[in-house]
């Protein structure tokens, strides 16, 4: 965007200039337009909306250090993901969500809250200044309203009663808690419903641009999801129906399920909305590092310093092994999915991890002539498996692969840590399951069952009837590690029991091929997981210092840095004493 209202960086520069000679400040402004002169033409509106998309990408979708705030906070607070690493003291910025040991000063928490509202601010600029008196300008305003609604929806699901900021704030404004979570979610649904008519439809299943911008489909998604979490299932079914029935979207076939999480699946027919994170030379080195989720990719990759060599399915950078699948959930999913494509794209069995040259692959699998090592030789090959006798912390015998960056995902022209996989916001499978749940509550069983069965059929899993338990299970299988599970178990009222079953119940994975004194030592690879209690036993922490507290941990507190500046914003529930 060449015409800019003052950015925060420009404002900072102006403040710094106060120590300079006043004569140096008496200069003509360059490449700056006032609000009176800008936002007038269709092109102005498009430029302004382009800037709003850029702010959404930079704030909601990009990294900060070793974590991407939304991905980290919501996935590691779920009961089916372990924060792994070297040991129980590694990646503490992330681990505190796994163990419910965070407080109001947590950096990731602070980043997530502020990033939502920075994106909201950018959307409000468009909504405030663009007069929707042409189809192009009306479309831009509608796109901004839906982006703003998405950020408010996620803030409501995460912080329960955050402020509703539906206008540009003055410097002395101090927005307070919204009246209720339900009222804010209802507002989000209304915003999207009112915007649909001005938005573009996706132009068929191969329309790439239609997955990278706000369309009617995404407006229906946000409206429907907001209604589900507001408890209005009649409204949810009505809002989601045009989306699930649209010919512009489709579930990818099972043999492409894995692609949904890699560059091969960017903007495919299942994607409703996602952020295009492909490297852009104009963003500069650090700008691209952040939008490519920077060290998040290293966190999620397997920890190669503890493995026999490098697996060929993974990218070139060393991994830190920080995103392990809960072994008990993996066993449950394996019993349901078996060797179906969804399971294989989510995690590997021990034999697949150790010996499958296609699903995993090791550097020693093939010789210089392309001949594959025999299975008998693989079983005693030291260049595979878990070579460290210290094992892999928080890993069971199943190795996650869903969010590991593959060689094709890396844009090496930018850096070896840049991941060009688009940042997923909404895909059709989630819409199907939200719609099926609404149909279940509304007693439209046969209608909802069509969409539940479509998910199960694609996974090559048993087709089960539409019940709440089956839907809950299916959503966990389908959307593992996709920022859904924590919000769902809170909404279903089962968060406490789910979390109590896993907190401080952490496996440690060993490969007995490398462990002296075992019958497999030096003879054959054999994965073995032992249950550990790193908080209560290893660190001897009191039980009151970790774990999920009902009435407190269903929602996150507002960051201390925010409440210190705004005394009208109050923490609630078990966090209220921190004000």
3-state secondary structure 282-343: HHHHHHHHHHCCCCHHHHHCCCHHHECCCECCCCCCCCCCCCEECHHHHHHHHHHHCCCHHH
User: What pLDDT does 280 receive?
Assistant: 66
Phi-psi region of 356 (alpha: psi -120 to 50; beta: other; left: phi over 0): beta
Q: Is the pLDDT of residue 206 over 50?
A: yes
Query: Is 397 among the domain residues?
Result: no
pLDDT range class, residue 229, cuts 50, 70, 90: very high
pLDDT for the residue numbered 451 = 99
Task: Note whether residue 353 is domain-resident.
Answer: no
pLDDT range class, residue 343, cuts 50, 70, 90: very high
Q: Give the mean pLDDT of 261-284.
A: 87
In a domain, 180, yes or no: yes
Task: Please count the structural domains in the chain.
Answer: 1
Is the pLDDT at 63 greater than 90? The verdict is no
Residue 576 lies in a domain: yes
**Which pTM was predicted?**
0.93
For residue range 435-488, what is the model confidence (pLDDT) as tens digits?
A: 999 999 999 999 999 999 999 999 999 999 999 999 999 999 999 999 999 999
How much is the pLDDT for 242? 98
* pLDDT score at 291: 72
pLDDT of 415: 63
Of the pLDDT bands very low, low, confident and very high (cuts 50, 70, 90), residue 23 is very low
- pLDDT for the residue numbered 74: 97
Structural domain contains residue 480: no
Q: What is the pLDDT of residues 514-550, one digit of tens each?
A: 999 999 999 999 999 999 999 999 999 999 999 999 9
Tokens of 61: 């979708």
Please indicate whether residue 282 or residue 181 has the higher confidence score (pLDDT): 181
**Could you give the percent of the chain with pLDDT greater than 90?**
82
Q: What is the pLDDT of residue 574?
A: 96
The mean per-residue pLDDT over the stretch 187-195 comes to: 99
Domain residues for the domain of 559 are: 1-13+37-61+103-195+549-579
The answer, yes or no, to whether residue 322 has pLDDT greater than 70, is yes
| 396 and 509 Cβ atoms separated by less than 8 Å | yes
pLDDT, tens digit (0-9, with 9 covering 90-100), for 128-164: 999 999 999 999 999 999 999 999 999 999 999 999 9
Under 8 Å between Cβ of 466 and 449 = yes
Which residue has 């089956």 as its token pair? Answer: 470
Helix (H, G, I), strand (E, B) or coil at 132: coil
What is the rounded average pLDDT for all residues in the chain?
Answer: 91
Q: What is the pLDDT of residues 279-314, one digit of tens each?
A: 666 667 666 667 767 778 888 999 999 999 999 998
* Mean pLDDT across 362-390: 97
Percent of the chain with pLDDT over 70: 90
pLDDT at site 318: 73
What's 152's domain CATH number? 1.25.40.890
Domain presence at residue 27: no
Assigned domain for 398 exists: no
Cβ neighbours of residue 46 under 8 Å, at least 6 residues apart?
Answer: 136, 140
> From CA 362, how far away is CA 561, in angstroms rounded?
47
Give the tokens for residue 451. 């969409």
Q: Are 216 and 195 in contact (CB under 8 A)?
A: no
In terms of Cβ atoms closer than 10 Å to its own Cβ (0-12, 13-18, 19+), residue 50 is: middle
Quick check: is 109 in a domain? Answer: yes
């Amino acid at each position: 965007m060449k015409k800019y209202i003052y950015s925060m960086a420009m404002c900072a520069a102006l403040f710094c200039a106060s120590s300079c000679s006043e004569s140096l400040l008496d200069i003509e402004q360059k490449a700056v337009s006032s609000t009176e002169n800008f936002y007038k033409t269709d092109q102005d509106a498009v430029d302004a909306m382009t800037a709003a998309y850029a702010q959404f990408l930079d704030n909601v979708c990009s990294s900060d250090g070793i974590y991407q705030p939304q991905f980290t906070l919501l996935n590691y607070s779920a009961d089916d993901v372990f924060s792994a690493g070297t040991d129980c003291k590694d990646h503490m910025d992330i681990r505190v969500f796994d163990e419910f040991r965070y407080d109001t000063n947590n950096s990731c928490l602070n980043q997530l809250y502020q990033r939502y509202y920075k994106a909201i601010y950018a959307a409000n600029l468009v909504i405030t200044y663009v007069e929707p008196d042409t189809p192009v300008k009306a479309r831009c305003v509608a796109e901004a309203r839906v982006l703003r609604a998405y950020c408010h929806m996620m803030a409501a699901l995460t912080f329960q009663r955050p402020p509703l900021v539906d206008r540009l704030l003055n410097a002395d404004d101090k927005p307070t808690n919204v009246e209720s979570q339900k009222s804010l979610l209802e507002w989000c649904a209304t915003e999207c419903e009112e915007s649909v008519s001005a938005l573009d439809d996706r132009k068929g299943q191969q329309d790439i641009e239609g997955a990278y911008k706000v369309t009617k489909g995404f407006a229906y998604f946000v409206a429907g999801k907001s209604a589900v979490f507001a408890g209005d299932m009649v409204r949810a079914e009505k809002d989601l129906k045009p989306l699930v029935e649209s010919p512009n979207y489709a579930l990818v076939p099972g043999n492409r399920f894995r692609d949904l999480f890699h560059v091969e699946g960017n903007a495919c027919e299942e994607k409703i909305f996602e952020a295009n994170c492909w490297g852009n030379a104009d963003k500069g080195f650090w700008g691209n590092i952040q939008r490519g989720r920077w060290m998040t990719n290293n966190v999620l990759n397997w920890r190669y310093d503890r493995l026999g060599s490098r697996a060929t399915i993974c990218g070139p950078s060393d991994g830190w092994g920080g995103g392990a699948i809960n072994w008990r959930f993996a066993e449950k999913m394996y019993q349901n999915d078996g060797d179906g494509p969804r399971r294989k794209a989510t995690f590997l069995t021990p034999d697949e991890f150790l010996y499958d040259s296609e699903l995993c692959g090791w550097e020693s699998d093939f010789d210089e002539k392309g001949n594959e090592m025999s299975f008998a030789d693989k079983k005693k090959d030291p260049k595979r498996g878990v070579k460290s006798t210290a094992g892999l912390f928080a890993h069971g015998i199943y190795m996650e692969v869903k969010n590991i960056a593959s060689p094709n995902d890396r844009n090496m022209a930018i850096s070896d840590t840049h991941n060009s996989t688009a940042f997923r916001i909404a895909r059709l499978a989630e819409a199907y399951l939200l719609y099926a749940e609404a149909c279940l509550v509304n007693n439209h069983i046969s209608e909802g069952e069509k969409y539940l069965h479509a998910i199960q059929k694609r996974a090559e899993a048993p087709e089960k009837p539409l019940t709440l338990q089956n839907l809950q299970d299916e959503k966990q299988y389908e959307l593992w590690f996709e920022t859904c599970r924590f919000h769902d178990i809170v909404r279903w009222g089962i968060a406490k029991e789910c979390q109590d079953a896993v907190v401080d119940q952490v496996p440690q994975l060993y490969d007995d091929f490398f462990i002296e004194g075992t019958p497999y030592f030096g003879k054959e690879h054999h994965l073995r997981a032992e249950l550990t209690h790193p908080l209560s036993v290893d660190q001897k922490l009191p039980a009151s210092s970790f774990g999920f507290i009902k009435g407190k941990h269903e929602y996150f507190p507002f960051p201390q840095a925010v409440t210190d500046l705004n005394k009208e914003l109050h923490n609630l529930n078990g966090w209220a004493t921190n004000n």
